[in-house]
Chains A and B, each alone.
Chain A
Amino acid sequence: GAVVSQHPSRVICKSGTSVKIECRSLDFQATTMFWYRQFPKQSLMLMATSNEGSKATYEQGVEKDKFLINHASLTLSTLTVTSAHPEDSSFYICSARDLGEGGNQPQHFGDGTRLSIL
């Protein structure tokens, strides 16, 4: 089945550091990938839609300058948390959909990145 790889799985860094998270579709091409954030015991909240070759679209309340998204190829999207602060600590998850199999294929998720800002 479709596989989405996310790296790194865990990051611990000091306040003010910028952190880059990679999301790759391993066996299919994804023109669109999605970035979610999950706080403990809460739902996954969509942050932004990453579009290959164009700008990402952000959900209401998500700072685009804080969470930079680049979708440079059909298999890779990156999320950079710029100048991270403790309140940015969270579980970040990406997903992708294999449009080559038709419009109703489900999103497949990476294993997430646990970001901890000290």
Chain B
Amino acid sequence: DQQVKQNSPSLSVQEGRISILNCDYTNSMFDYFLWYKKYPAEGPTFLISISSIKDKNEDGRFTVFLNKSAKHLSLHIVPSQPGDSAVYFCAARYQGGKLIFGQGTELSVKP
């Protein structure tokens, strides 16, 4: 039973445009949501997070939106750069810090 889902395994975007990565969850007890970026053979790198009591958090080119009623969150990257190409994981936090990860979306930003 996948509690955190990223339904798009891949996304291709032109440089300078907006990248939108989506994530759905099923458990309303999650209290925090995070986005991580990952390159092959490396550990995930933290990007941005949002508390379940907020609906938006922005950090530079990255903005995360949370829609609790729809149990949906998204990561917006604008403008997208070729260096953003990586696998992006959505994660939800529960039970004292444990994270459940989505399957990941591979973003490719083309020059």
Contact = CB atoms under 8 A, between A and B. Distances in A.
Given A34-B98, A104-B32, A42 B103 contact: yes
Given A111-B42, A114-B41, A104 B101 contact: no
B90 to A, nearest CB: 10
Given A93-B44, A106-B49, 20 more contacts: A32-B96, A43-B102, A43-B103, A43-B104, A44-B99, A46-B98, A46-B99, A49-B97, A49-B98, A95-B99, A104-B51, A106-B34, A106-B46, A107-B99, A108-B46, A109-B43, A109-B44, A109-B45, A111-B41, A111-B42
Contacts of B103: 42-43
B43 A46 contact: no
A81 interface: no
11 contacts: A4-B43, A34-B97, A43-B104, A44-B101, A49-B97, A106-B46, A107-B99, A109-B45, A111-B41, A112-B42, A114-B41
Interface string B87-111: 0010000001111111110000000
Interface of A: 4, 6, 9, 32, 34, 36, 42-46, 49, 91, 93, 95, 97, 104, 106-112, 114
A36, A95, A107: most-surrounded residue (chain B CB, <10 A) = A107
Say whether chain B's binding surface is mostly helix, strand, loop, or mixed.
strand
User: B interface, how many residues as a size bin?
Assistant: 20 to 34
Contact of A93 (B43, B97, B98, B102): B43
Contacts of A32: 96-97
A110 B43 contact: yes
B89 A44 contact: yes
